[in-house]
Amino acid sequence: MSRIAASRMGEVRPLVVAVIPARGGSKGVPGKNLRRVGGVPLVARAVAAAKAAPAIDLVVVSTDDPAIAAVAREWGAAVIDRPAELSGDTATSESALLHALDVLAAEGTPVGTLAFLQATSPFIDSAALDSAVSDVVAGLADSVFSAVETYGFLWRRDASGAASGINHDAAVRPRRQDREPHYLETGAFYVLDVDGFRAAEHRFFGVTRAAEVPESTAIEIDTAQELQVARAMAASGLPSTVPTTLDGPIDVDAVVTDFDGVHTDDSAYVDAQGTELVRVSRSDGMGVSLLRRAGVPVVILSTERNPVVTARARKLGVDVEQGLDDKASALVAWAAERGIPLHRVAYVGNDVNDLVCLELVGWPIAVPDSHPLVLAAARIVLQSSGGAGAVREVAERVLAARGASSESILASSEAEPPRSKP
């Protein structure tokens, strides 16, 4: 972190630093900050949102959890170790922010503006965040918070259960166009002038403004139900600053696939003797060949016991384990044997027995006709279907992340002995 700060020391203005407090403990949703939405851990989504705001110079995650710290570093954030006394259920976010500022100051990092992001908000609007930073840097506000505009009638209940209006006269029901809007705090981000924050020790002080954000980004995850809603929203294609484009590169060191529904169209032909046959794609076979030539390990993990799985893997020249009752353990063991971190692995699946593996890897990928729970767990949903080019699509995108193409891989291996046709 000190090297990052040092590289900025030549700048005239103090830095704009985003701090994401993310402790390991959570009662409502255990391990909440590492839970995935759109196939990406919540803390990683917050890091990506902060990095997508041009006005932010440095992104820091304050945590007491080694697993959160590892994910934060993987996604490009610096990490501050959060002491135990600031990591309990009663510790305030302000205490974590002030601690982070003290650590940065001790390292010689000049912070003028603080952006406080909450990982529990999975759809942080980076453009609104950037605009809020600009307002504070320009002196137009001391404190800015994300909010959604609402025209709702709010009520309170007294001890007896009787309701009374808060923001309206219950006897007067003006039309929406005749009412003044109110603003509901979303909790996604707060941008603070550091000197004012240190004096107030609270996120609201001085001139406070609301940064309006789209209502679709306002969900905050505090319960398991809200997590499921957020996952469904991500699967529906809600715009996000997390780099998970439909056709972008897949930057991994290994590819792991299911068999049925990925290498096949998830159907089988059965003859009168009960023998099952499946249909595979030669294009997928070429994709696997390209990955092998590029030095990318590939393994097929399947619960299927039909020997066709191993026969196909043998034809492709890749590792295979079939008839598995525990695909996750097989995945972990295979990656560990090769020294490949799970966050550098892509797993391609289509059904609920793939969910546990999808949760383990850095790049969970689904074919387009996957089970809805798989679609919700995926970081990427392929354009090609199982048995119809899905594996080839993954291969091309893995090669693209390495700055290669199928043509360049084939050209570089022309001198190799001929291989059997995929």
Mean pLDDT for the stretch of residues 55-76: 95
Q: Nearest to residue 125, comparing CAs of 34, 239, 43, 244?
A: 239
Mean pLDDT for the stretch of residues 156-175: 90
DSSP state of 52: T
Looking at the structure, tell me whether residues 143 and 107 fall in a common domain: yes
Q: What's the domain range around 220?
A: 2-235
Mean pLDDT for the stretch of residues 201-211: 96
Q: How many domains does the chain have?
A: 2
Looking at the structure, tell me whether residues 77 and 197 fall in a common domain: yes
Instruction: Return the top range by mean pLDDT from 83-87, 191-195, 264-268.
Output: 191-195
CATH number reported for the structural domain that contains residue 159 in this entry = 3.90.550.10
Looking at the structure, tell me whether residues 291 and 220 fall in a common domain: no
Half-sphere exposure of 24 (CA within 13 A, CB side): 13
Q: Could you tell me if 300 and 323 are in contact, meaning their C-beta atoms sit under 8 angstroms apart? A: no
Looking at the structure, tell me whether residues 330 and 221 fall in a common domain: no
pLDDT at residue 344 above 80?
A: yes
pLDDT at residue 3 above 80?
A: no
pLDDT level of residue 271 (50, 70, 90 thresholds): confident
Looking at the structure, tell me whether residues 40 and 175 fall in a common domain: yes
Looking at the structure, tell me whether residues 319 and 354 fall in a common domain: yes
Asked if residue 245 belongs to a domain, the reply is: no
pLDDT at residue 411 above 90?
A: no
Residues 6+ apart with CB under 8 A from 26: 32, 33
Give the whole-angstrom CA distance, residue 5 versus residue 149.
37
The overall average pLDDT reported for the chain is 90
Give the whole-angstrom CA distance, residue 197 versus residue 193.
6
Asked if residue 13 belongs to a domain, the reply is: yes
Mean pLDDT for the stretch of residues 304-321: 95
pLDDT at residue 420 above 70?
A: no
Q: Nearest to residue 113, comparing CAs of 131, 90, 91?
A: 131
Mean pLDDT for the stretch of residues 125-152: 96
CATH number reported for the structural domain that contains residue 403 in this entry = 3.40.50.1000
**DSSP assignment of 26-78, as one string?**
-SSSTTGGG-EETTEEHHHHHHHHHHTSTT--EEEEEES-HHHHHHHHHTT-E
pLDDT at residue 381 above 60?
A: yes
Predicted confidence at residue 31, as pLDDT, reads 87
pLDDT at residue 415 above 50?
A: no
Looking at the structure, tell me whether residues 262 and 392 fall in a common domain: yes
Poorest-pLDDT segment among 18-22, 108-112, 274-278: 274-278
Half-sphere exposure of 314 (CA within 13 A, CB side): 6
Half-sphere exposure of 232 (CA within 13 A, CB side): 7
Choose the final residue of a domain: 203, 235, 267: 235
Task: Give pLDDT tens digits for 317-335.
Answer: 999 999 999 999 999 999 9
pLDDT at residue 5 above 50?
A: no
Predicted confidence at residue 168, as pLDDT, reads 87
Residues 6+ apart with CB under 8 A from 419: 289, 317
Looking at the structure, tell me whether residues 209 and 259 fall in a common domain: no
- Give the strand pairing for 345-349 and 254-257: parallel
Predicted confidence at residue 422, as pLDDT, reads 58
Residue identified by tokens 């409502």 is: 28
267, exposed or middle or buried, with CB in 10 Å at 0-12, 13-18, 19+?
exposed
Residue identified by tokens 């970081």 is: 379
pLDDT at residue 238 above 80?
A: no
Mean pLDDT for the stretch of residues 153-176: 90
In this structure, the number of other CB atoms found within 10 A of the CB of residue 27 comes to 8
Predicted confidence at residue 180, as pLDDT, reads 84
Mean pLDDT for the stretch of residues 90-98: 91
Predicted confidence at residue 7, as pLDDT, reads 44
Q: Please tell me which residue, 26 or 31, carries the higher pLDDT value.
A: 31
Looking at the structure, tell me whether residues 70 and 198 fall in a common domain: yes
Residue identified by tokens 């759809």 is: 123
**DSSP assignment of 84-152, as one string?**
GGGSSTT--HHHHHHHHHHHHHHTT--EEEEEEE-TT-TT--HHHHHHHHHHHHTTS-SEEEEEEEE-P
Predicted confidence at residue 301, as pLDDT, reads 98
Predicted confidence at residue 44, as pLDDT, reads 94
pLDDT at residue 247 above 90?
A: no
Predicted confidence at residue 141, as pLDDT, reads 97
Predicted confidence at residue 4, as pLDDT, reads 46
Choose the final residue of a domain: 235, 269, 285: 235
Predicted confidence at residue 203, as pLDDT, reads 96
Q: Nearest to residue 312, comparing CAs of 337, 349, 276, 346?
A: 276
